[in-house]
Every structure is written in structure tokens, then in C-alpha cells.
Structure 1
Amino acid sequence: MSITVRPLTAEDHELIELARRTVDENTDGPDGIYTMGAAVRAADGRMFAGINLYHFTGGPCAELVALGRARAEGARELTTIVAVGNEGRGVQAPCGRDRQVFLDYHPQLRVILPTAQGLGSVVASDLLPAGFPWAP
């Protein structure tokens, strides 16, 4: 299977910056808490940020918080998402749970992540090619 990686656009960099600002301004710091910020762009251009709620029971990932915030604001068509780690860790790939949620709710969502060629974006459905086809 071949995954098509697209180069980033100016809008993608704007989304990365929102996620980075969100995590930098709200991080729990380097001591034991794994803080991530995320940002998602809606088809109408609005951007929504989220931050994870780290908890030993498996609190929600930043990407899921951003998706929920977008939904709460009425954004149903989403185009791009990114997650950025605290303490300068930069753009991070989504975890398996996030990939499954993307596949179920927004399979054509572009996901910004690190690749062998540097940062790029891929279609969410390419990240979980044999994912369970759950339908809400």
C-alpha cells in the first residue's frame, strides 16, 4: 500500500502554530505529564484547538478534544488536524485510538505528521488501512 504525502501549505503551518501555542500556554511541564496540543480546521476556515487531559485512566487525547470543540461550535466538515507536543517536541503522529476516530467520523481528514521526508499531510483513512469499520 502506498500513502500519498502532501507538502504543507501556509494554512497547515497556521494550524501547527495554533496547536503549538495552545500546548505552550497550557502545558503541565516536563515533570511526568505528557501534554499535547491539537488544532483542527473546518471547511469554512475556522480553527479549533484542544489540549489533552492526561490521566491514569486514559483521559482524552488533544485531537479528540479539538474534534469535540469543533463539533460543539457546529463545525461538521473538517479538513485538517495536527497535534504538537509540549516542551518543544513538535508535531506528533496520532495514536491508534485517534486514528480509529478519524476513520469513523472524518475518513478524508488530512492529518499533519512527521514523515521520512519531513512534515507532510496524509488522508486519515490511509493511517488505518485495515481499521474496524464502526459506524455510529
Structure 2
Amino acid sequence: MTIQQPHPPRTDDIDRELVDVAADIARTRCRGDNHTVASAARDRDGRIVSGVNAYHFTGGPCAELVVIGAAAAQGAYELETIVAVGDRERGVIPPCGRCRQALLDYFPHINVIVGPADALRAVPVAELLPETYVWADHQLDAD
């Protein structure tokens, strides 16, 4: 399966409202060691879905994964852009490898906002996973 990606958005096309929502949640809701990252995503119809990570020593879902579940619960099945922001004013942080793979599998055309505050950019998730494994390929019937 070849994933066709649109041209990456320019820096001035960053969804600043999305970044602000995640930053506000990180600042006001991420307290202590259990919740340290907030994420926000926008779906095709403009709705914003947000969440925070749920850290646990056995491994817990990252904020991006919480957003995927929250989006499904709210009927938002076509996420277009996502961002994660760390607590204690860490700013925008890139998704971990597991989140990159999950985002690619659920939303192969989603853009991810990454970079330092003065140079944020939105990139297709596939660019964050060169030579990626595409889970959908595994689901194809053999001829």
C-alpha cells in the first residue's frame, strides 16, 4: 500500500488554536507525575478533541492515544491535525514511536505539529516514520 501524502503545510499554516488548546490543558490539567502531556487534534469538520496521558509504571497511554480514543467516542473519525504539548512549559513535543505508528494506522493522512516554538511546522505522519511498516498491508488478502 502506497500512502499518498499532500504537500506539507507551510509554517504559517500551523493550526495555532490547536497548539493553544493543548498548551492550556498542559498548563492547567497536567499536575503531578500521572499526567504530563496534553494533546489536541482537529477533525475534518473543525471539532477539537483533547486528552492527557495516563502515566502508570506498567505503561500507560500517551496523550495522542487518549485523543484517538476520545475522538472515536465523540464520533470524530477523520482527524486531520494533531499536536502534543508537555507540562512545565516544555512546549510542543513530537510523538513517540508507538504514537507515530498508531497515528499512521488510524489516520494515514494526518499532519503532526512538531518543532520548537519559533519554528513550528506541520508534517505528514508518514514523514515521521521513514521506511514505515503499514499495518493495513498486513490485513490484505493474499491472492
State TM-score, norm by structure 2.
0.83
Q: Tell me which structure has the larger Cα radius of gyration.
A: 2
Q: Residue in 2 aligned with 1:7? A: 11
Q: Which amino acid aligns with 2:10?
A: R
Q: Which consecutive residues of structure 1, in runs of 5 or more, have no partner in the other structure? A: none
Superimposed CA distance per residue, residues 59-109 of structure 1 (whole angstroms, 9 cap, x where no aligned partner): 000011111111111111111000000000000011000000011111110
Query: Structure 2 vs 1, CA of residues 85 and 55 (structure 1 numbering), >3 Å: closer, same or farther?
Result: same
Alpha-carbon distance between aligned partners in 1 of 2:106 and 2:90, rounded to the nearest angstrom? 27
Superimposed CA distance per residue, residues 31-63 of structure 1 (whole angstroms, 9 cap, x where no aligned partner): x55600000000000000100001111100001
Identity %: 47
Alpha-carbon distance between aligned partners in 1 of 2:99 and 2:40, rounded to the nearest angstrom? 13
Q: Which amino acid aligns with 1:17?
A: D
State TM-score, norm by structure 1.
0.87
SS at match of 2:82: strand
Q: Is the 8 A contact 2:79 2:107 kept in 1?
A: yes
Higher percent of residues as strand:
1
SS at match of 1:25: helix
Alpha-carbon distance between aligned partners in 2 of 1:51 and 1:33, rounded to the nearest angstrom? 9
The two structures, once aligned, show a CA RMSD in angstroms of 2.0
Alignment coverage as a number of residue pairs: 130
1:28 Cα offset (Å): 2.1
Instruction: Extract structure 1 runs of 4+ deviating beyond 2 A.
Output: 3-6
Q: Residue in 2 aligned with 1:19? A: 22
Alpha-carbon distance between aligned partners in 1 of 2:37 and 2:83, rounded to the nearest angstrom? 10
Q: Residue in 1 aligned with 2:98? A: 97
Q: Is the 8 A contact 1:104 1:133 kept in 2?
A: yes
Q: Which amino acid aligns with 2:16?
A: H
Q: Is the 8 A contact 1:110 1:124 kept in 2?
A: yes
